[in-house]
Structure 1
Amino acid sequence: MFASFLIGLREGLEATLVVSILVAFLVKSDRRDRLPLVWSGVGAAVALSVGFGALLTFTAAHLESRQHELFDAIASLAATVFVTFMIFWMRTAARKMSGELREKLSDALQLGGTAVVVMAFLAVAREGLETALLWFAAAQGATASASPLIGISLGLLVSVAIGWGLYRSALRINLTKFFTWTGLLLILVAAGIFKYGVHDLQEAGVLPGLSTLAFDISGVLNPSAWYSTVLSGMFNITAQPSVLETVAWVAYAVPVLFLFLRPSSKAPVSPAPKSAQPAS
């Protein structure tokens, strides 16, 4: 449930920030008449995302055992790729995202109403589709079927509330720290999703070694305890993982955490020639 909450909070806030930038641009440029077009695009993107999540769930529910494992494995591996790309993309694109969105919306306004709807739809649909895929992949290891849905719903509601507070200037949040800490947690969630995908491939018979355990800490980590449920649901840490699962978790988490925490090196700015410097 907490993993789904984190996914909904992180992805939902990104989508909410996108919408707030578009709305603020129209309000400040005195183009309120175009707001319904933006909301139409946002509504279509939300509908597409919900439909995509429902399609994934429906498809998985109507597959045979081995096909189900393969489908879950592919979804888990795809979600790992998407969340990794998203985490690192936000580090580089967050600062210039506002300017790019305003520029695209300005161009769309000149083209007409349909262009505004399409632009708002595309801006939100990417976040929505990622959210649906990540939620489906994280929900595969849940012990209760309703927990992932409750978690992502709460995360989305909180993200909308935070976005509204930021838009109305009622909240002051350091977004850089927010995305850094949630990025760290999402990396660990993605490592668990990747580990679960490898486990599904082993259960489907694609990869060997399902019964070759890396360790057995069931005597220490009681599977029925609440903390075991949290660790399993959040990071897919289990008491009896296979060797290949453990290798997969470490092989993903260690290098990705290193790259994420590594300070970004900025090239020194060379001084402009005297002839190019403006007069005081």
Structure 2
Amino acid sequence: MRPFWLFLCLCFALPLQAATDGPGTIDAILERGEAAVSAYDPARPLATAGEFSALYFEIFEASGMELDLGIKDPGLKTELEVLFGALNGNAMRGVPRDRLAASWQALRNKLEEARTHYGQEQDGSLSVFLKALLILLREGVEAMLVVGALAAYLRRAGAADKVWVIHAGVVLAIPLSLLTGWAVSSILQAIGAPLAVVEGVTMLAAAAVLFYVSCWLFAKREARRWEAWVASQMDQALGTGSLLALGGAACLAVYREGAETVLFYQALAGSAPGQGLALAAGCATALVLLAGLYLVMRLAALRLPFHLFFGSTALLLYLLSVVFLGQAIVELQAAGWIASIHLPGFPHISWLGVAPTLQGLGAQAALLLLPLLWWGLRGRGPEAGAARAS
């Protein structure tokens, strides 16, 4: 718990941003967006695409509205990111004017929906407490699932003395999260690296590491395979590369959630001056709940059958890698690093990383199909033929 308390104290020590002028930000986006749509020429689309990109980076993100809306309505914030990416992608491809206008209208409708979250009375103590509680729970649960599963795995594998690697990854992630939270509003803006890029690249790396670890665990889910592998390691309970992968997975999971948590708390504190006590109480309550979740996971893991524990841990990390991949693509599409083909009418499930874009759904589907492909190839290999002959 000490690293979490340190994280909390340093989070409040960071400069707090001023309250966001949501209606003013929305009006500025609508005014410039309408002008960009009117001036759009499918034969020369780059100027319009650049203007739409500026609407996201220079107004929506730079004004703090992205973070503020992430507190008020996380799902709507993600929907806006998807629509910004789709609009920019359509402009880059030089689609017909009516198609671009329809894409812009979809974004307009969501911006008007976001306007309803502003113009209300200042949040009271109970509202700030609940928001602070939900922010840390929402951001912390994914990281806690990863850290708890990896730590429980090492204990079940007879390598409890190696759990320090997981803890080291968490401790390393905390100052990195704090530095990122500070740098986003200063250094990163100075060099032109937007928050969406930082989040997207981090989530891509986390998805890759979690996918690797989940496959590695699944391959050793049977006790006889695990015993044979440990024997092959001679005096080492785990190889150096495996330890680095486990520690890296914990570090990336906590870093990705921690950096966003710092920014969310800065935005919440800036929008609710004088509510520091309620904010701290919400954080403390969330920490207690997360610690309880960690203990429950630890106790439950020790009681599961060996093969069931390894299989369920691998499945959990694998599904989280699919979620992280979807979330990463949404961020990188909003930043204009990945093309975006919007699929209107497809459901949007932000907490699963499911967004209505061809690229995001295609990448997640490919990752989901990889185990089936591996299983099919494995079933045709020489080992499978020998097993059938036997």
- 1:270 is matched with 386
- 1:166 is matched with 301
Q: How far does the alpha carbon of each residue in 1:177-233 deviate from its partner, in whole angstroms, 9 at most, with x for none?
A: 45325633541342122211220x23xxx6788xxx94677xx99xxxxxx8xx335
Using the TM superposition, give the Cα deviation of residue 4 of structure 1 relative to its aligned residue in structure 2, in angstroms: 4.6
- 1:232 is matched with 350
Kindly provide the amino acid, as one letter, of the partner of residue 10 in structure 1.
V
User: Does residue 1:106 correspond to 2:256, yes or no?
Assistant: no
Using the TM superposition, give the Cα deviation of residue 63 of structure 1 relative to its aligned residue in structure 2, in angstroms: 3.5
Do the aligned partners of 1:72 and 1:140 also contact (CA within 8 Å) in 2?
A: no
Structure 2: how far apart are the matches of 1:256 and 1:187? 7
- Decide which of 231, 245, 252 is 1:130's aligned counterpart: 252
- 2:125 is matched with none
Cα-Cα RMSD: 5.0
Using the TM superposition, give the Cα deviation of residue 80 of structure 1 relative to its aligned residue in structure 2, in angstroms: 1.6
- 1:21 is matched with 157
Paired residues for 1:243-254 under 5 Å: 246-254=357-365
Structure 2: how far apart are the matches of 1:251 and 1:80? 15
TM-score, length-normalised on structure 1?
0.56
Structure 2: how far apart are the matches of 1:105 and 1:159? 32
Do the aligned partners of 2:214 and 2:315 also contact (CA within 8 Å) in 1?
A: no
Do the aligned partners of 1:42 and 1:124 also contact (CA within 8 Å) in 2?
A: yes
Paired residues for 1:1-280 under 5 Å: 2=138, 4-23=140-159, 38=162, 43-63=167-187, 65=189, 67=191, 70-96=194-220, 98-99=226-227, 100=229, 106-107=235-236, 122=244, 124-135=246-257, 157-167=292-302, 169=303, 171-172=304-305, 174-175=308-309, 176-177=311-312, 179-180=314-315, 183-184=318-319, 186-199=321-334, 201-202=335-336, 214=342, 231-235=349-353, 237=355, 246-262=357-373, 264-265=375-376, 266=378, 267=381, 268-270=384-386
In structure 2, do the counterparts of structure 1 residues 160 and 251 end up closer, same or farther at CA, with 3 Å as the change threshold? same
Kindly provide the amino acid, as one letter, of the partner of residue 386 in structure 2.
S
Do the aligned partners of 1:72 and 1:197 also contact (CA within 8 Å) in 2?
A: yes
TM-score, length-normalised on structure 2?
0.43
In structure 2, do the counterparts of structure 1 residues 260 and 62 end up closer, same or farther at CA, with 3 Å as the change threshold? farther
Structure 2: how far apart are the matches of 1:157 and 1:264? 37
Using the TM superposition, give the Cα deviation of residue 13 of structure 1 relative to its aligned residue in structure 2, in angstroms: 0.7
**Which structure 1 segments of 5+ residues have no match?**
25-34, 109-115, 222-227, 272-280
Higher relative contact order (CA 8 A, sep 6+): 1
- 2:83 is matched with none
In structure 2, do the counterparts of structure 1 residues 152 and 58 end up closer, same or farther at CA, with 3 Å as the change threshold? farther
In structure 2, do the counterparts of structure 1 residues 39 and 263 end up closer, same or farther at CA, with 3 Å as the change threshold? closer
Counterpart secondary structure, 2:194: helix
Counterpart secondary structure, 1:135: helix
- 1:29 is matched with none
In structure 2, do the counterparts of structure 1 residues 66 and 191 end up closer, same or farther at CA, with 3 Å as the change threshold? farther
Structure 2: how far apart are the matches of 1:65 and 1:149? 31
Q: How far does the alpha carbon of each residue in 1:58-105 deviate from its partner, in whole angstroms, 9 at most, with x for none?
A: 322433547565353144124224313422442244443855568658
Using the TM superposition, give the Cα deviation of residue 252 of structure 1 relative to its aligned residue in structure 2, in angstroms: 1.5
Structure 1: how far apart are the matches of 2:332 and 2:354? 11
Kindly provide the amino acid, as one letter, of the partner of residue 198 in structure 1.
Q
Counterpart secondary structure, 1:86: helix
Using the TM superposition, give the Cα deviation of residue 20 of structure 1 relative to its aligned residue in structure 2, in angstroms: 4.5
Kindly provide the amino acid, as one letter, of the partner of residue 132 in structure 1.
V
Using the TM superposition, give the Cα deviation of residue 9 of structure 1 relative to its aligned residue in structure 2, in angstroms: 0.6
Bigger Cα displacement from structure 2, 149-158 vs 14-23: 149-158
Using the TM superposition, give the Cα deviation of residue 46 of structure 1 relative to its aligned residue in structure 2, in angstroms: 3.4
Counterpart secondary structure, 1:264: helix
Do the aligned partners of 1:12 and 1:159 also contact (CA within 8 Å) in 2?
A: yes
